């Protein structure tokens, strides 16, 4: 199977970080909007995690149309022939339902928690995927890790833990109800990192077992996800919330519902900024997920999870600037207490150091493998 050059690998990882950051920022921008659809509307809050998950799958299915073009290229045909020579078979598209289910539930957990956690903290918690990916790839793919790779992962997790506790060590003034929502959001994030760890690992297993292009995989995940969430969003639009969930549900005619798809589109029509955030968010996710799949195909699932950590830096910096530059509570995304900022900076440094240790060691291993392979060919 063909390999990427070092320059293409670098460009791939940079693109992953940039668009991964923009995806989170644009979705948080959506959640910050208050859009009234008419004079009688007294709610106005943009609270649509189910519709946001549907829009994510809409972004993914766009990759399927791009794949139909790529499929005609000489490069794809060459890769396909190489895969056949290596004994790889085409994948049954129903198998793609497995990572799709992980993605659909994990994404919903993230979009719900985005309403109650700072963007950087939300992203930092997802770095736990490094641990779940490493454990599951060891079990499912029999991957062997060196001491330096383990040290790099542990250092990243140490940095994640430091940043995650910053908001509790230096808390801002908040209601007891908001604190409970944050605790629930943290548990949702912990559940999502297990799901994403399994998704990353099963996708890598697919690439090792079958021939499938990254755009094809992400496109079919989008297709299945769009079918599933279209049914879910329509159903939840007419499903009333229980009493204890009223504060997180959407009111309509004196009743509360889990989702209101009609209200989502009505708010979309009323706000130009919201339209930009939704459309740009879809484009960002489409590009970001394509890069994620390409990293998993040509590098590894743990590298995908580990390099993904770098996007936190950009998210934290942008979110902090927005929080400091505005007085509106809707855009107060980050904890701006000095103590919390110092702890977060220290945690970020640990994350970056762990990433460097892991990637440097993996590069050395790949170089040694190439040298060994070349020596073997010379002997033959």
Q: For position 379, what pLDDT does the model report?
A: 42
Q: Is 339 part of a structural domain of the chain?
A: no
CA-CA distance, 338 to 344, in Å (whole number)? 10
Q: Is 341 part of a structural domain of the chain?
A: no
Q: Is 148 part of a structural domain of the chain?
A: no
**Do the bridges between strand 250-252 and strand 210-211 make them parallel or antiparallel, or are there none, so unpaired?**
unpaired
Q: Is 135 part of a structural domain of the chain?
A: no
**What's the number of domains the chain is made of?**
1
Q: For position 378, what pLDDT does the model report?
A: 41
Q: Is 23 part of a structural domain of the chain?
A: yes
Helices 214-237/97-113 angle, 10° precision: 60
Walk along the chain (380 residues) and give the pLDDT tens digit of each residue. Answer: 456 666 777 777 788 888 888 888 998 899 999 999 888 888 899 999 999 999 999 998 998 888 888 888 888 888 888 888 888 888 899 999 999 999 999 999 988 888 887 787 777 777 777 778 888 888 888 888 788 888 888 887 888 778 767 766 777 665 555 667 777 888 888 899 889 989 989 988 898 889 888 889 989 999 999 999 999 999 999 999 888 787 788 988 888 999 999 999 999 999 999 999 999 999 998 888 777 766 656 666 556 556 666 777 788 888 888 888 888 878 888 877 888 888 878 887 887 777 777 666 655 555 444 444 443 434 44
Q: Is 304 part of a structural domain of the chain?
A: yes
Q: Is 197 part of a structural domain of the chain?
A: yes
Domain extent, residue 40, equals 6-117+175-323
Q: Is 137 part of a structural domain of the chain?
A: no
């Amino acid at each position: 199977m063909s390999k990427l050059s070092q320059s293409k690998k670098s460009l791939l990882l940079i693109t992953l970080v940039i668009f991964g950051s923009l995806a989170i920022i644009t979705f948080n921008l959506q959640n910050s909007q208050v859009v009234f659809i008419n004079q009688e509307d007294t709610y106005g809050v943009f609270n649509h995690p189910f519709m946001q998950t549907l829009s994510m799958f809409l972004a993914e299915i766009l990759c399927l149309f791009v794949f139909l073009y790529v499929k005609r290229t000489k490069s794809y045909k060459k890769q396909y022939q190489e895969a056949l020579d290596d004994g790889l078979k085409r994948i049954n598209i129903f198998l793609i339902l497995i990572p799709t289910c992980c993605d659909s539930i994990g994404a919903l957990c993230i979009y719900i928690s985005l309403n109650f956690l700072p963007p950087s903290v939300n992203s930092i918690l997802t770095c736990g995927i490094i641990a779940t990916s490493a454990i599951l790839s060891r079990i499912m793919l029999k991957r062997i890790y060196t001491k330096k790779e383990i040290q790099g992962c542990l250092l990243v997790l140490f940095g994640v833990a430091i940043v995650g506790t910053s908001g509790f060590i230096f808390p801002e003034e908040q209601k007891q109800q908001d604190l409970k929502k944050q605790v629930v959001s943290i548990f949702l994030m912990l559940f999502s990192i297990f799901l994403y760890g399994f998704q990353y690992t099963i996708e890598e297993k697919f690439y090792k077992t079958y021939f499938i292009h990254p755009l094809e995989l992400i496109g079919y995940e989008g297709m299945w996800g769009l079918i599933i969430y279209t049914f879910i969003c329509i159903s939840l639009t007419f499903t009333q919330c229980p009493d204890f969930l009223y504060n997180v549900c959407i009111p309509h005619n004196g009743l509360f519902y889990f989702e209101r798809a009609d209200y989502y589109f009505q708010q979309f029509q009323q706000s130009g900024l919201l339209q930009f955030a939704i459309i740009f968010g879809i484009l960002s996710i489409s590009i970001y997920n394509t890069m994620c799949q390409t990293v998993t195909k040509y590098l590894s699932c743990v590298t995908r999870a580990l390099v993904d950590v770098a996007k936190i830096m950009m998210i934290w910096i942008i979110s902090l600037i927005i929080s400091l530059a505005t007085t509106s509570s809707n855009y107060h995304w980050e904890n701006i207490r000095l103590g919390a900022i110092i702890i977060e900076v220290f945690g970020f440094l640990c994350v970056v150091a762990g990433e460097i240790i892991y990637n440097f060691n993996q590069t050395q291993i790949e170089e040694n493998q190439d040298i060994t392979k070349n020596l073997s060919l010379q002997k033959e």
